[in-house]
Structure 1
Amino acid sequence: MVMEDSRKPSGYKEYVAGLFAGVATVVVGHPFDTVKVKLQKHNTNVQGITYRNGFHCTARILATEGGGVQSSRPRPQVIIPSAAFAGAIISFVLCPSELVKCRMQIQGTDSLVPKCSGYSSSLDCALKTIKSDGVTGAFRGGSTTFLRESIGNAVFFSVYEYVRYYMHLQLKSGSSDHNNLVDMGIGILSGGLGGVAFWSTVLPLDVAKTIIQTAPDKSSPTNPFQVLNSIYRMSGLRGCYTGLGPTILRAFPANAAAIVTWEIAMKFLGIKNN
C-alpha cells in the first residue's frame, strides 16, 4: 500500500510542472502574439502605418523597438540577455545537426574511425546515432552547445552593436557622406569583429563539444569543464584553443557576410536601420 501511494504524483508537483509549461508557452509565443496584435490594430485602422505582412511587421519591431536604432547608445542590459536567450533557443536546433556534422568531418584519410563503422551520408549518420543511442543521443553535447551559443551570442551582439554605434558616431562628427557603400563597410567591420569576439570567447567550449560529440564510448564524460580540464592537463591552454587559426579566418568573413546580408534585407523590406 505504501509503495502504491509513493508512486502517485503529488498535486503540487503537477501544478508546478503545469506552471513551468505555461511560462514556456508565454515566453515562446509572446513575440508572435505581439506581431499578430500589431497587424490587427494597424491593418484595420485608416490612420498610421499599414504592414505588408508579418515579416514586415517583425522587421519594423526589431528596427524601431529592439535596440537596432543607432540614434541612442547601445543598452547592454537589453542586448546581453536578449542575445543569450536567442542563443539558448538556437542551441536546441544546432546540437543534433552539429553532432552529425562533427561525426562526418572526422572521417577521412587520417581518421581514427574504422572504415567499417563509418557513415555513408549525413542521413546515415543521424539514423545510426538514433538507432544506437536513442533520440537523446542526437542531443549529446547539448549543455555545451547551450553554453557556447548563449555566451557567444551575448558577446557577438555586444561587440557588433558597440562597434556599429561608435563608427556611426565618428561618421556623424566627421560630417562624411553617408551612403550605401559606407553602410556596407560598417556592416563588414562590425559583423566581422563580432564573429572574431564570439569564437575567441567560446572556442574552448567548442573544442569540448567536438570531443563530447565524437567520443565513440557512450560512457565518456559529457561535462564540458571536466573535458576541458583533461585537455588542459594534457596539452595546456593551447590545447583548449585548438583550431583557433582556421576558426578566426572563417569567423570574420562569414559573420561579416551574414550581417551585411541582413542589413541589405532590412533595406529591401523598407526598414531603416540607422
Structure 2
Amino acid sequence: MTLETFDGDVQQLNNLKAGIIDFVAGSLGGTALVYVGQPLDTVKVKMQTFPSMYKGMVNCFTTTLKSDGIAKGLYAGTVPALVANVAENSVLFAAYGGCQKAVAHLTGVRSVEDLSSLGNATAGFFAAFFSSLTLCPTELIKCQLQAMREVQVQRTISGGSINFIGPWELTRQIMRRDGFTGLFRGLTSTIAREMPGYFFFFGGYEGTRQLLTKPGQSKEDIGWQKTMVAGAVGGTVLWLVIFPADVVKSRIQVQNLRAPALVIMKDIIRTEGVGALYNGLKPTLIRTIPATATLFVTYEYTKKVMNDLFNN
C-alpha cells in the first residue's frame, strides 16, 4: 500500500466519521426542537390554514387546549413531527457538513473552520435541497394532523361527520387516494422555502457566533449561552424570510390544493390581502427563539462530546 493510498483511506474514514457525528447530533437536536416548540407550531399551522376561525394566537392556543387538551391538541402530530425533524435535521446537518467541505474546496479555503459566514450560508442553501426530500412527506402528515379538527369542522358543516385518525391511518388514506407521490404534495413549495431559508439560517447562526467570539477564541468555545443566542438569531432570520412560502406550503398540504404555489400565493393576496401571508408569524417567532436555541446547543455539544469520544 502506497502512502498516498493510506492517506486517502484515512481521509475517507475521517469524512465518514464526521458525517456520522453530524447525522447523530442533528437527530438529537431535531428531537429537542420538537418537544420545545410543538405547541406553538400547532398554533402556527392552524392560523395559517384556517385564519378566519381564530381571533389571534392566544385564542387559537386556548381554544385548542380546551377542545382537545395537550396530547391530542397542542401536541397533535408529534410523532410525524419527530420523524420529520429527526429526518430533516439529521440529513440537513450531515449534508451541511459535506457542503461546507465542498464550498471550502471550491473557494480555496484551507478548512471548514475558516469559512466565512457567506460560505456557511451557501453550504446551508445546498444542504437544504437534500433535507427537503426527507421533510416533505412527514411535514404533510404533521400539518394535516395539526389542522384535523378544522378540516373536520368544515366537512361537518357540509353534512360530514368528525372522524379523528392517527398518523399511520392518515398515511394509508393519502397513499390509497393519491399513490406514493401524494406524500410529496407541496414538495416544490417546500424546496422554495427551505433553500433560501437555510441560506439565512446558517448565515445568521455562523455570523452571530463570529460576532460573539472574542479575539483569539474559537467559535466552538463561546459557551452554551452565546450558542443559544446565535441559534435564536438564525431561527428568527429563517422564519422572517420564508414565512409567506410556508403559509402557501401549509395550505397546499392541509387543504389538498393542486394549483401551483405561485398561483395560490397570488390568490391569497387577492382575496385575503398580503397580511394573510403572515398569519401565524407571532407564535412562530415566539416558538423559534427557545426551539432553535435548544437545537443548536444540543447539536454543538453532542458533536463536541462525540468528537472527544472518537478521538480518545
Whether these two folds match at TM > 0.5 is yes
CA shift in 2, pair 1:57/1:120, >3 Å: closer
CA distance in 2, matches of 1:91, 1:123: 21
Query: In the alignment, which residue of structure 2 is the partner of 1:132?
Result: 177
CA shift in 2, pair 1:166/1:230, >3 Å: same
The correspondence of residues 258-269 of structure 1 with structure 2, limited to 5 A, is 258-269=295-306
Amino acid at match of 2:231: G
Structure 1 position 146, deviation (Å): 0.8
Quick check: 1:85 aligned with 2:85? no
- SS of 2:238's equivalent? helix
CA distance in 1, matches of 2:7, 2:169: 45
Amino acid at match of 1:55: K
CA shift in 2, pair 1:116/1:127, >3 Å: farther
CA distance in 1, matches of 2:268, 2:7: 51
Query: In the alignment, which residue of structure 2 is the partner of 1:55?
Result: 17
Query: In the alignment, which residue of structure 2 is the partner of 1:94?
Result: 135
Alignment counterpart, residue 224 of structure 1, candidates 249, 261, 265 = 261
Hey, which of these two has a bigger chunk of helix by percent? 2
Contact 2:149–2:164, Cα closer than 8 Å, also in 1? no
Quick check: 1:251 aligned with 2:293? no
- SS of 1:120's equivalent? coil
Contact 1:141–1:222, Cα closer than 8 Å, also in 2? no
Amino acid at match of 2:251: I
Q: Larger relative contact order (C-alpha < 8 A, sep ≥ 6)?
A: 2
TM-score, normalising length: structure 1:
0.68
Alignment counterpart, residue 192 of structure 1, candidates 211, 232, 254 = 232
CA shift in 2, pair 1:56/1:162, >3 Å: closer
Query: In the alignment, which residue of structure 2 is the partner of 1:172?
Result: 215
Structure 1 position 112, deviation (Å): 2.1
CA distance in 1, matches of 2:153, 2:295: 32
CA shift in 2, pair 1:179/1:89, >3 Å: closer
Quick check: 1:202 aligned with 2:242? yes
CA distance in 2, matches of 1:228, 1:57: 37
CA distance in 2, matches of 1:57, 1:98: 24
Alignment counterpart, residue 275 of structure 2, candidates 238, 243, 266 = 238
- SS of 2:215's equivalent? helix
Structure 1 position 125, deviation (Å): 0.5
CA distance in 2, matches of 1:240, 1:254: 22
Query: In the alignment, which residue of structure 1 is the partner of 2:193?
Result: 148
Structure 1 position 102, deviation (Å): 1.1
CA distance in 2, matches of 1:85, 1:129: 29
CA distance in 2, matches of 1:41, 1:90: 28
Query: In the alignment, which residue of structure 1 is the partner of 2:167?
Result: 122
Number of residue pairs aligned between Structure 1 and Structure 2: 217
CA distance in 1, matches of 2:11, 2:268: 57
CA shift in 2, pair 1:118/1:96, >3 Å: farther
CA distance in 1, matches of 2:136, 2:11: 39
CA shift in 2, pair 1:193/1:111, >3 Å: farther
Query: In the alignment, which residue of structure 1 is the partner of 2:149?
Result: 108
Amino acid at match of 1:124: E
Gaps of 5+ in 2: 1-5, 23-93, 105-110
1:74-95 Cα shifts (integer Å, max 9, x gaps): 151x323321221111111111
CA shift in 2, pair 1:118/1:192, >3 Å: same
Superposed CA RMSD in Å reads 3.3
The correspondence of residues 56-71 of structure 1 with structure 2, limited to 5 A, is 56=18, 62=97, 69=113
Larger Rg: 1
TM-score, normalising length: structure 2:
0.61
Contact 1:208–1:227, Cα closer than 8 Å, also in 2? yes
CA distance in 2, matches of 1:196, 1:42: 36
Structure 1 position 260, deviation (Å): 0.6
CA distance in 2, matches of 1:193, 1:151: 16
CA distance in 2, matches of 1:242, 1:57: 37
CA distance in 1, matches of 2:19, 2:169: 40
